[in-house]
Amino acid sequence: MMLRPCQSSALIGSILPACLALMLLSAPAAPTVQAKDVKVSLEMLSPFRFDPPRFAVEPGDTVRMTLQNLDITDQPHNFVLTVPGNHQGLVNAALALAEKGPELDYVPPGDQVLAHAPLLKPGNKATLKFKAPEEPGIYPYVCTFPGHGMLMFGALYVGTEMPKLEDDPNISKMFLSAPPVEVTRPAFQRMFLPDAGPAAIAVALEGDQNYCWDAGACRLRYLWQGDFIDAKDYYASNGNALAEILGDVYWENPEGYPLTFGGMAPESVKFLGYDIVAGVPEFRYEIDGVLVREHITALTGSGKPGIQRRFQIENAPGPVHLPLDMIRPSDEIGVKMPGGAVKNGELILEPRLAQDFTLDIYRRK
Amino acid sequence: MKLKSSLLSPSRLAGRLRLLLAVAAAGLVGGLFQSLHAEDAALSAGADISRYYTVTPILPPPGVDSQVGGMAFLPDGRLAVCFHQGEVGFYNPAKGEWKMFAQGLHEPLGLLPLSNTELLIMQRPELTKVSDTDGDGVADRYETVWDGFGMTGNYHEFAYGPVRDAHGDYFVSLNVASNGASVREEIRGEWSPIGLDRSEFYGTDWKAVKEKAGRMYSRVPWRGWILKIDGKTGEATPWAAGFRSPNGMGFDAEGRLYACDNQGDWLGTSKFFHIEKGGFHGHPASLVWRDGWTRNPLEVDVAELDTLRTRAAVLVPQGVLGNSPTQPVLVEPGGKFGAFENQMLVGEMNYPRVLRMMLEDVAGVMQGACIPLFDGGGLNMGNNRLAFGPDGALWVGQTHLSWAGGQGIQKIMPTGETPPDVKSVKLTEDGFALTFTKPFDTALLKDPANFNVSRYYFEYHEDYGSDEMDKKAAPVKSVEVREDGTGVRLVLGEPLKAGYVYQFRLDALRDAEGNAILNPLFCYTAKRLTDGTDPEPGTQIPRK
């Protein structure tokens, strides 16, 4: 196999090397099919993914590639096309470059490399032109940056039929979706959740009730009925995903504060953590320095789907005002109040009653 | 920037290639995260690692994603581990059994036992004390110790620690956010008005404006900082700034605090810093939270930042010795790693490697060299957390978080045979003094050609990473060999240059019995010269 320099490419910006050295694979035999130009746009993505993960050409085609590193996780990537069956050999050879790696862009020398693009920093682009091998086969392409090689690879099919994507042993299956994590109720999981602050907690109660608690704002954010959460996109990545709520959100409280003493919005709320009581959190937080404990459990006995919130405020300095915003009874939602008076849109409980009270929220249907 | 040509003449490389292919002959082991076996590892070529160390896998608890965020031994000798999906398990090494202790944490990335029933754990949103108060072996209390830092919901805002100093106070470290993503609608903490307007973070085309946010940004409190948490009151004191991804802190034998940071924007390569109060460690995003700071760090001249910054004690050259160093741990005297007592070991994500730091005080600053403990030998990649066990082994917890890495737990046990290794490196006025772990072949030591030294620096700039700048050979002019072969004094043919990395390859050396040197490659960072000379500010920044 002969190797000879091909041509330089156009690049963006001033931070890329001004010249790309490319390799052209020369054709030892006359093509049997009319060779053509094939344009391929290849993206380097997180986590460790080439997109497309594979593509097909005919022997002798001229491949004109645009490569772009769009990895949001700040990983540099290169692209190295190698001979059939040499994926591991190429990775080993790249690692064996040791301290020579950086200056070679982690591209090992020798015939095993058929074409390559340089190491692209995130955001950078390159173009690459090479002639597809005349020999039909499956040619691996690999990012040979240290640590990436066994994770980030794809396949160039030359004059060869491709199997179904999911059955293709020649492409990385590294981060194909895993099934949702089964939950054994009750359970609680701190997680990035939709429609909540970043310090959120998802809780799966007995039955099919679930809620989202916001540990930043110290309050219940929403309730849903059904399955718990699917956090696989979070777990399979580096955290750039919200967990999905697997059910029917039937109650939410997007704004406001938990409760207050005397009716004015509290000056400070402070999350103190939680104790596990009957398998689920009993939250502890301070409102203007006063300790509040709140335990949320599934409603039992009434036959209505819903939850019960139990509050314990031992040292309320005055009447406890629960904004009714937070409760929101409606045609759909029923609320069982603990007594007290409703005034100016607030439920008001005397300190004695506030020492230990419950508030039920349930679906009327 | 230097032009890179990848066109290399096969004939010019033929000799080297033969050697490399021989080294790379064996295949990778199976599984999603392949590890490199000893015979594959380039740096330990020729040495038989199994003679000096054994690497044993520990089965993770069933059904748990075995990526390790934090790991430490309890006083009773069990290993406490927190995992990627928020579980905490205790492993009993005597019985080989796991018992799950806690659940539901959000990306816990550090763990410190307070007793057999109480752990401090740093998770994304807070430092939490997790306790079993009723003695049933399962945690029933999760207390928020400190959550006084901001969160934008950006994925890159990882939180690490805690480590505890001799006074019983804790240190935690916080990542900056990445402009690979924006911020969430709801955030926790105060928003800094310095920089790109918040409304722009919610525009429809983040890609169009993200550069203006900075590649990494700190818009809520203490992102890019190390903080000290009072062990009694839980009160936080901002301690040092200028970090990008400080995944891993630890103390040396004198109680000095060290932290690693990861190559990226403003970091020409990965770094191992000595941390002192008030330091600024080079990544400017976090400066917005400095008392009295009002300017957009992206608009501050790099020359000014260069004068403000504290340089690394050890630079870990990218692609040479490490791409992502992690937690430092001290080798306590009297253990199984006797040859390296009082040195620090540091995990590494992208290689099947643990690094060893050879530090010294040079004219008042801590600096030194990094070298693998060994390379390969059955060790996985993703070496995120290290802990010495009661058995004297180094236990290693691995993760990847979708970057390069691995998962699981392994333990490294020295066999008892002292590896033929460089034990320490000291800078002299005209070169280096090396000490070996055992007598070496003096005939080989006498030949200056057996000490292959090159030097280069990493540029300080906003761009991602740096090339090895001004890289040149620094030939050894003369060698003075200690009579018993346990050390050499090397004199270089050129004056030492402050701020440069000196890279050594000693492949030809053998111990007195003829065994190949275990780790022929190491890099010394000449942060300061013995006469107190520091790099001239502005000499390692981009030329205008």
pLDDT of residue A95: 84
pLDDT of residue A327: 66
The phi and psi torsions of B122 (rounded to 5 degrees) equal -95, 120
Burial of A183 (C-beta count, 10 Å sphere; 0-12/13-18/19+): middle
Q: What is the mean pLDDT of chain B?
A: 91
Q: What is the DSSP-derived secondary structure letter of residue B510?
A: B
Q: What percent of chain B has pLDDT over 90?
A: 86
pLDDT of residue A179: 46
* B16-24 CB contacts, 8 Å cutoff, 24+ apart: B17/A108, B17/A109, B17/A110, B19/B45, B20/A93, B20/A96, B20/A97, B20/A108, B21/A93, B21/A96, B23/A96, B24/A89, B24/A92, B24/A93, B24/A95, B24/A96
Measured between CA atoms, how close is B484 to chain A, in angstroms? Answer: 31
Q: Which of A48-52, A207-211, B211-215, B455-459 has the lowest mean pLDDT?
A: A48-52
Burial of B317 (C-beta count, 10 Å sphere; 0-12/13-18/19+): buried
pLDDT tens digits, one per residue of A227-284: 999 998 899 888 889 999 999 999 988 788 889 998 788 999 999 999 999 999 999 9
pLDDT of residue A59: 95
Interface of A with B in 215-234 (CB under 8 A): 215-216, 231
AA identity, residue B321 = L
Per-domain boundaries in chain A? 3-167, 187-363
Name the one residue in this structure whose structure tokens are 């805002």. Answer: B157
Query: What integer is the mean pLDDT of B108-114?
Result: 98
Q: How far apart are CA A363 and CA A330, in angstroms?
A: 10
Confidence of residue A174 (pLDDT cuts 50, 70, 90): low
- Inform me whether the pLDDT recorded for A33 exceeds 90: no
pLDDT of residue B377: 86
| pTM greater than 0.95 (yes/no) | no
Q: Do B341 and B335 form a contact (C-beta atoms < 8 A)?
A: yes
Query: What integer is the mean pLDDT of B210-230?
Result: 97
Q: Which chain B residues contact residue A276 at CB under 8 A?
A: 139-142
Strands (E), B390-475: 394-398, 408-414, 422-427, 431-436, 452-458, 468-473
- Inform me whether the pLDDT recorded for B10 exceeds 50: no
State the CATH class of domain A3-167: mainly beta
Q: Which of A13-22, A158-167, A212-221, A273-282 has the lowest mean pLDDT?
A: A13-22
Q: Find, in chain B, the residue whose alpha carbon is nearest to that of A198.
A: B153
Q: Do B106 and B127 form a contact (C-beta atoms < 8 A)?
A: no
Q: Pick from A79, A99, A230, A269 the residue to mutate for testing the B interface (most B CBs within 10 Å).
A: A99
Q: Do B420 and B435 form a contact (C-beta atoms < 8 A)?
A: no
Q: Where in chain B is the domain with CATH 2.40.10?
A: 59-147
Confidence of residue B91 (pLDDT cuts 50, 70, 90): very high
Measured between CA atoms, how close is A341 to chain B, in angstroms? Answer: 33
SS3 (DSSP) at B141: strand
Query: What integer is the mean pLDDT of B408-437?
Result: 97
A235 touches chain B (CB under 8 A): yes
AA identity, residue B123 = Q
- Inform me whether the pLDDT recorded for B388 exceeds 90: yes
- Inform me whether the pLDDT recorded for A105 exceeds 90: yes
Confidence of residue A300 (pLDDT cuts 50, 70, 90): confident
- Inform me whether the pLDDT recorded for B33 exceeds 80: no
- B128–A192 CB contact, under 8 Å: no
- Inform me whether the pLDDT recorded for B301 exceeds 60: yes
Q: Which chain A residues contact residue B107 at CB under 8 A?
A: 239
- B144–A19 CB contact, under 8 Å: no
A186 touches chain B (CB under 8 A): no
- CATH 2.40.10 matches B59-147: yes
pLDDT tens digits, one per residue of B43-88: 665 678 989 999 998 989 988 999 999 999 999 999 999 999 999 9
- Which CATH code for domain B422-525? 2.60.40.1220
C-alpha Rg value of chain A to the nearest Å: 30
pLDDT tens digits, one per residue of B457-507: 999 999 999 999 999 999 999 999 999 999 999 999 999 999 999 999 999
Rounded-to-10 torsion of CA B142, B146, B152, B158: -80
Confidence of residue A326 (pLDDT cuts 50, 70, 90): low
pLDDT of residue B13: 33
- B188–A197 CB contact, under 8 Å: yes
pLDDT of residue A47: 72
Q: Which chain B residues contact residue A215 at CB under 8 A?
A: 125-126, 144, 147
pLDDT of residue B327: 98
Instruction: Please state, as a whole number, how many other Cβ atoms lie within 10 Å of the Cβ of residue B415.
Output: 13
Between A179 and B460, the higher pLDDT residue: B460
- A273–B43 CB contact, under 8 Å: no
Q: What is the mean pLDDT of chain A?
A: 85
Q: What percent of chain A has pLDDT over 90?
A: 60
pLDDT tens digits, one per residue of A51-77: 999 999 999 999 999 999 988 777 889
pLDDT of residue A181: 58
Q: Where in chain B is the domain with CATH 2.60.40.1220?
A: 422-525
- Highest mean pLDDT (candidates A134-148, A334-348, B115-129): B115-129
Query: What integer is the mean pLDDT of B182-194?
Result: 97
